[in-house]
Amino acid sequence: MSESIAAAHILEAGVDDPGVSQGGESCSGAGETLVRLVEALGKPLVNWRVAVLGAIGRWPLASEVFEGERNEYLIGGEAFDWKFLAQRLYSDRRVESLIPAFEWQAWIASSSPFAGLVEDEFRRLLGVDKYRAHLSYFYGVTVEQGLLTAVGEEIAKRRTGGGRSADQETRETAFVSLYGWTQERLWREYKASVSTEAAGLAENLSGQLSLHTMDSFTYWLFKRRLKRADPARVASDTRKGLMQLERMRRAEERRDGMLRELME
């Protein structure tokens, strides 16, 4: 994806219509989607990745209560976490029995922004609205996490280069560098901004938080940063985050190659 397209997207981050119901009223449609997925996976020579992404494109719920837990697939009404929904589909025993576990885990763990497909095919399977919401998640959560990692590594290198060891203060320094405040201070501000959910959030970041909660916090940080940064800084930071993700992808490929060699 070109840098100019990326910058243009993040400056207008967010979608008005994510293509999924904001409520939980379409349970029957969700059940029908699962049935169609199982039928598709049972066909010979099926590409199960395409079948799963097609089911994700048809899925009608932005959130649901599943096995006693609330699943939020759409962060802030804008950012669509397709992997979270994919895991929900895979938790169905019928689906799980039809997809090799090792292949599934490798697919979900992959850093490919388009699930290993070409972008046009990925967009066709998800539909335009979910695809746009996926981009909001990609830039607002995945790239933002890459940016924070990259800034942390830069700070650690400066410290070790100066004869000091990197320590736990590195991440806090990265937060201050990017967002102007410490992580704890930002967490309190985040809690105050989502008052309807605040009762279920920890008072501080020392406790164990769900992955969804951390993703929501990251997306909030992303939008907060966009409001305060000039376009040139936004483009520069986006490039830095994307470069970090690319380095991580190459390291992942090298690791996988070494594992394959050991297994041969």
- Mind listing the pLDDT tens digit of every residue in the chain (264 residues)? 544 334 444 434 443 344 455 444 467 799 999 999 999 999 999 999 999 999 999 999 999 999 988 899 999 899 999 999 999 999 999 999 999 999 999 999 988 899 999 999 999 999 999 999 999 999 999 999 999 999 999 998 887 765 454 566 788 899 999 999 999 999 999 988 886 555 456 555 655 678 888 999 999 999 999 999 899 999 999 999 999 999 988 887 787 677 666 766
Q: What is the pLDDT, as a whole number, of residue 201?
A: 60
> 3-class SS at 98?
coil
Hey, what are 187's tokens?
Answer: 């967490």
Closest CA to 131 of 155, 115, 143, 147: 115
Interatomic CA distance for residues 145 and 225, integer angstroms: 13
Q: What is the pLDDT, as a whole number, of residue 100?
A: 96
Q: What is the pLDDT, as a whole number, of residue 15?
A: 39
User: 218: Cβ–Cβ under 8 A, 6 or more apart, which residues?
Assistant: 140, 141, 144, 145
pTM of the model: 0.82
